[in-house]
Chain A
Amino acid sequence: DTAVSQTPKYLVTQMGNDKSIKCEQNLGHDTMYWYKQDSKKFLKIMFSYNNKELIINETVPNRFSPKSPDKAHLNLHINSLELGDSAVYFCAASLTTSGSYEQYFGPGTRLTVT
């Protein structure tokens, strides 16, 4: 079983469209994250949810809206896609009660905006 899974793996869409990326974790962890990895491989956190509550919201355009229906899922919805949104988006999960801060990553979703 995959610990952290994302769908789709690849997403190609046109500017102006709205798209969603889904993330599910079966680790029983209570915190989930979205990261963006740009073309230079730089990883930057976007959002973090703990028990369905938004904890970290970095400087991200309002077009990006995370939603956590339950502790095992964290979806990312993007409105009015722009060329600069092209990147690989990673979901991750961690267990805060462990105090270890280690995060487990999904395989990534490569978003290409044309």
Chain B
Amino acid sequence: AQSVTQPDIHITVSEGASLELRCNYSYGATPYLFWYVQSPGQGLQLLLKYFSGDTLVQGIKGFEAEFKRSQSSFNLRKPSVHWSDAAEYFCAVGGPNTGFQKLVFGTGTRLLVSP
């Protein structure tokens, strides 16, 4: 069955420091991978996505993610975190194997940004 694991429930990063959020997936074919961000009391906003091609994808707000098939990972990175990045981050996998347009989400990682 398809699944997504985000091993870190929460992470604290100092403002200006670099960030990496981990995501591992289980999927029977080439996955479609997504990172979403949810600010408190808000809906989910798409940060970036990977379908094929270049394994390093750029997203909004200065985020990037790298698809590593050998490690079944799609980690999210940002070189310098801003206080406004504090939010919940969700990794998701989709594609033909999950049925018609179905996304399977990880449990999320809460990012805290310290001054």
Decide: A101 near B90, CB < 8 A? Known: A56-B102, A108-B43. Answer: no
Number of chain A residues whose Cβ lies closer than 8 Å to a Cβ of chain B:
26
CB distance from B4 to the nearest CB of A (A): 10
CA distance A40 to B36 in the complex (A): 16
CA distance A90 to B101 in the complex (A): 16
Residue from the list B51, B102, B105 in contact with A48, Cβ < 8 A: B102
Residue from the list B43, B100, B108 in contact with A106, Cβ < 8 A: B43
A48 touches B44 (CB 8 A): no
Instruction: Specify the main secondary structure of chain B where it touches its partner.
Output: strand
B107 touches A42 (CB 8 A): yes
B107 touches A107 (CB 8 A): no
Instruction: Specify the main secondary structure of chain A where it touches its partner.
Output: strand
Q: Mark A90-109, 1 if CB is under 8 A from B, else 0.
A: 10101010001111111110
Contacting residues, chain B, for A103 (C-beta < 8 A): 46, 101, 103
| 9 intermolecular pairs with C-beta atoms under 8 Å apart | A40-B107, A42-B105, A48-B102, A56-B102, A92-B44, A100-B51, A101-B32, A103-B101, A103-B103
